[in-house]
Amino acid sequence: MSPVQPKIEAPRSPGASPAMRGIVKRLLAVVNVPLLLVLAALTAYGLLIVNSATLNDTDSSFSFSHQLVGVAIGAVVMLILWRIDYRRLSVFIVVMLVLDFLLILSPLLPFIGVTVNGAQSWISLFGQRIQPGEPAKIITIVAMAALVSKYRGKLDSGKEYLKCFGLLMALLLAIMLQPDLGTGLVFFAIGLTILFAGGASWKWIVLTLFVVAFVIGLVIYLDPILDESFGSDVLLKEYQKDRLLVFMDEDLDPTGVGYNLRQAKIAIGSGGLFGKGLYQATQSSLGFLPEAPTDFIFCVLAEELGFMGCVLLLTLYAALIGASFWVALKADDPFGTLIVMGCVGMWVFQILENIGMTCGLMPITGIPLPFVSYGSSFMLANFMALGLIFSVWSHRSARTSGHERVAMEE
């Protein structure tokens, strides 16, 4: 993943006036153009696929214009965040954490909480369904980054590590009250990325991974025993067990619990090299593919645009992450770096899990695909993340050219 070289210098256009050249120079200094271009390409690509998926989908509850509104709101929020100096945010740790918990727990409140597919992950405000867990991800990124950046890249103390990790666990626990395992896993990925990038000592990271593996093993081991003694699903839900079984054996029960994975794989596989053509997906338009516009949107893309379309998407993601890495490396302070890395961790995990589950590499969990999946709350979260990254870029001191720096020192 080669970081894209940001062009700080303006293209030499002999006819341009010095004043104009100055404006362009300043613009390029504050705007990470490659990242902006990747964002534009990804959003356009995502909208195209969502358009196809929503047009084809037999379920009329998905509307393309709704997604457009999500993008527009997202763009505005992104600009606002971009404008704000991210460093100012570091003082609001307590406020952010309170807000975070409020957002995560709001779907559990009476009147506004809405249950969809057995999870209370939604609230209904002014007739609009909002998933507060999505913006909560971004707030978590900023809060965790602010917390961990205080250690200035050196988090050796077990006590301090436990403090940060405990906070992450508290957030996770709050999400599992909904319960929303998918979002919980994203939180965990964000937290772990920030802890790792924030300089947590290797031994704590490794120990954490071991504990996680142990807990997962314990849950899988204890679940049948507890189910038997209590007579109901205690730890894992029935569908979660089924998903794990399907993950172990891809050909299990292709008309029952294995149906989703089988249809997803048929959709992807039948795309071939160039796909069936935009709007020509049969798997989603005829209803074989479940949740086509949301969690399984990658299948629509793979079926319609084939391997080439998939490679294009992966390339755009790689460019997004590469450009973000560049921002992380160029950031002035650990706080900036950690914000960017939190966003990167969030995206990478979601890409891995979403694409991975559709092609059988990961167990099926409800996690959307960044910039592509249907959902305005989700779009908002993605744009917020980019707003933060732009902010980190635009507020780095190195962007200032020589004379400006001198001016500042004075």
Site for other proteins in 164-183 (CB under 8 A): none
- Cβ-contact 351, 317 below 8 angstroms: yes
Identify which of 251, 366, 346, 343 has the alpha carbon closest to the alpha carbon of residue 297: 366
- Cβ-contact 262, 288 below 8 angstroms: no
Site for other proteins in 215-254 (CB under 8 A): none
Site for other proteins in 298-357 (CB under 8 A): 302-303, 306-307, 310-311, 314, 317-318, 321, 325, 328-329, 331-337, 341, 344, 348, 351-352, 355-356
- Cβ-contact 199, 151 below 8 angstroms: yes
Which value, to the nearest 10 degrees, does the dihedral of the CA atoms of residues 367, 369, 371, 373 take?
A: -80
Candidate ranges 7-15, 115-123, 235-243, 393-401; the one touching other proteins (CB under 8 A): 393-401
User: Does residue 395 belong to the site contacting other proteins (CB under 8 A)?
Assistant: yes
Candidate ranges 104-112, 122-130, 195-203, 368-376; the one touching other proteins (CB under 8 A): 195-203
- Cβ-contact 179, 107 below 8 angstroms: no
Q: Which residue bears the tokens 């450009």?
A: 323
Candidate ranges 66-74, 122-130, 183-191, 371-379; the one touching other proteins (CB under 8 A): 66-74
User: Does residue 199 belong to the site contacting other proteins (CB under 8 A)?
Assistant: yes
> For residues 104 and 346, which CB has a smaller minimum distance to other proteins in the complex?
346
Pairwise CA distance, residues 275 & 278, whole Å:
8
Q: Which of 8, 61, 109, 152 binds other proteins (CB under 8 A)?
A: 152
User: Does residue 68 belong to the site contacting other proteins (CB under 8 A)?
Assistant: yes
- Concatenating the DSSP letter of every residue in 285-349 gives HTT-STTTTTTTHHHHHHHHHHHHHHHHHHHHHHHHHHHHHHHHHH-SSHHHHHHHHHHHHHHHH
To other proteins, the closest distance from the beta carbon of 210 in angstroms equals: 18
Q: Which of 7, 8, 23, 157 binds other proteins (CB under 8 A)?
A: 23
- Cβ-contact 292, 369 below 8 angstroms: no
User: Does residue 71 belong to the site contacting other proteins (CB under 8 A)?
Assistant: yes
Q: Which of 18, 273, 402, 403 binds other proteins (CB under 8 A)?
A: 273
Structure tokens at 168: 């992450």
- Concatenating the DSSP letter of every residue in 258-290 gives THHHHHHHHHHHHTTTT-S-TT--HHHHTT-ST
To other proteins, the closest distance from the beta carbon of 167 in angstroms equals: 20
- Cβ-contact 372, 364 below 8 angstroms: no
Candidate ranges 170-178, 225-233, 243-251, 398-406; the one touching other proteins (CB under 8 A): 398-406
> For residues 238 and 404, which CB has a smaller minimum distance to other proteins in the complex?
404
User: Does residue 79 belong to the site contacting other proteins (CB under 8 A)?
Assistant: yes
Q: Which of 61, 272, 280, 401 binds other proteins (CB under 8 A)?
A: 272
Size, binding site for other proteins by CB under 8 A: 96
* 3-state SS, one letter per residue, for 34-77: HHHHHHHHHHHHHHHHHHHHHHHCCCCCCCHHHHHHHHHHHHHH
To other proteins, the closest distance from the beta carbon of 258 in angstroms equals: 13
Structure tokens at 286: 């005829």
Q: Which of 185, 234, 244, 266 binds other proteins (CB under 8 A)?
A: 266
User: Does residue 283 belong to the site contacting other proteins (CB under 8 A)?
Assistant: yes
To other proteins, the closest distance from the beta carbon of 101 in angstroms equals: 24
> For residues 344 and 389, which CB has a smaller minimum distance to other proteins in the complex?
344
To other proteins, the closest distance from the beta carbon of 197 in angstroms equals: 6
To other proteins, the closest distance from the beta carbon of 198 in angstroms equals: 8
User: Does residue 197 belong to the site contacting other proteins (CB under 8 A)?
Assistant: yes
User: Does residue 397 belong to the site contacting other proteins (CB under 8 A)?
Assistant: yes
User: Does residue 409 belong to the site contacting other proteins (CB under 8 A)?
Assistant: yes
Residue 409 CB burial class (10 angstroms; 0-12, 13-18, ≥19): exposed
The residue type at 380: L
Residue 365 CB coordination number (10 Å):
19
Residues comprising the chain, all counted: 410
Candidate ranges 94-102, 133-141, 238-246, 268-276; the one touching other proteins (CB under 8 A): 268-276
Asked whether the bond before 179 is cis by omega within 30 degrees of 0, the reply is: yes
Site for other proteins in 40-59 (CB under 8 A): 40, 43-44, 47-48, 51-52, 55, 58
